[in-house]
Amino acid sequence: MSDFYTLTGIKKSFEGKGELIHVLDGIDLSIREKEFVCIMGNSGCGKSTLIKIMEGIIPRDGGEIIFDGISPGKQVSKELQKKMGIVFQGDNLLEWLTVYKNVELPLKVFGQKDKAENKAKVMEALELVGLQNYWDCIPRELSGGMRQRTSIARALVSDPDILMLDQPFGALDAITRKTLNQELLRIWHTTQKTCVMITNNENEALYLGGRVLVMSNSPSRIVHEIEVPLTYEERVNNLALNPIYLKLRTELARIVRSLDTPRQN
C-alpha cells in the first residue's frame, strides 16, 4: 500500500478571547491507500480542526499536505474535495430535504446534473447503508442511527477515494453504535475505501482501525501510534475473546488514561 494522504508539520492557531490559541503544533501523519485509520484524543485537543484542514474546510497556518500526489496551497482545493467523502461531527442533514435529496447533494454541488445517473448513484449509496426504503422520508422521521446512515450514504454517493468521519457515532446509544460500527466495517471491506475516522471510543477504534493514532492535548501532536494486526475475519468473529485485541485494548486504555486532563478554555 502506498502513501495516499500525507501531512507534515501541520500547525493551526485560532484567535480567541484576545489571545492566540495554539491548537495544532506540528501534526505528522501518513495514510496509506485503502487503510482505515482511527484518531483519538481528549476533547478540545484539535481532532475536528485537524480533519477540517484535511477536508479543505479550513486553511492551515503551516506545514505541508500531499494528497493523491498533489500538494495544495494553504487550503485543500474544491477540486481535491471531490475525491473526499465527509461525515461531520453531528450529521448536518438538511431538515427540509428528503433522505434522497440530502444524499444527492454532493452530486449537485459538484455539478453532476444527469438525473438518471444521479438516481442510480443515490439508490446505490442508500442500499449500501440499508436505507433504500426510506428515500422519501425527511430527517425528523428517522432515528439517530438512520440519520447517521444517511450522512454516510451522502459521503459515499460521489464514489470518493477517501472517507473522512468525525465522531460519526458519538451521539448514539451503545447498541446502535455497535451495529453501525459493524456496517461501517462491512462498507470499508466491500468498497475498499481509504478511511480516516475520529473517535472517542477505544473499542470502536480497535474494531475498525488498522492503526490507531493518539493526539496529545493542545497544542497537539500525534504522540502514540498502535498497529492493529487483525484481519477482517478476526474483527467480525468473537473479537472480544481475541488475545491480540485484549492486549491492545489494555495498551490503548493506558495511553488514553495517561493523557493529562484537557485544558479548559
Residues that bind ligand ATP (CB under 6 A): 14, 16, 21, 23, 41, 43-49, 89, 218, 265
Query: What amino acid is encoded at 44 in this protein?
Result: G
How many chain residues are in contact with Mg ion, going by CB under 5 A? 2
Least distance CB 250 / ligand ATP (angstroms): 23
Least distance CB 47 / Mg ion (angstroms): 5
201 makes contact with Mg ion (CB under 5 A): no
Least distance CB 89 / ligand ATP (angstroms): 6
Among the listed residues 190, 33, 181, the one whose alpha carbon sits nearest the alpha carbon of residue 127: 190
Q: Which does 265 bind (CB under 5 to 8 A by kind): ligand ATP, Mg ion, none?
A: ligand ATP
Least distance CB 75 / ligand ATP (angstroms): 14
- What is the H or E stretch that residue 36 is in? strand 36-40
Query: What amino acid is encoded at 66 in this protein?
Result: I
Quick one: 89 or 98, whose CB is closer to Mg ion?
89
> Which residue minimizes CB distance to Mg ion?
48
Q: Which does 14 bind (CB under 5 to 8 A by kind): Mg ion, ligand ATP, none?
A: ligand ATP
Q: Which DSSP string corresponds to 129-158?
A: TT-GGGTT--GGGS-HHHHHHHHHHHHHTT
Angle at 102 between CA 151 and CA 47, to 5 degrees: 35
Least distance CB 200 / Mg ion (angstroms): 9
Among the listed residues 25, 26, 46, 34, the one whose alpha carbon sits nearest the alpha carbon of residue 5: 34
**H helices within 38-98, ranges in order?**
47-55, 78-81
With contacts defined by CB under 5 A, name the span among 68-76, 88-96, 111-119, 255-263 that binds Mg ion.
88-96
Q: How many beta carbons lie within 10 A of that of residue 143, not counting itself?
A: 11
Quick one: 16 or 130, whose CB is closer to ligand ATP?
16
Q: Which of 8, 30, 48, 191 binds Mg ion (CB under 5 A)?
A: 48
Least distance CB 13 / ligand ATP (angstroms): 9
Q: Alpha carbon 203 to chain centroid distance?
A: 16
Output the CA torsion sign for 180, 182, 186, 192. Answer: positive
Provide the binding-site residues for Mg ion, judged by CB under 5 A. 48, 89
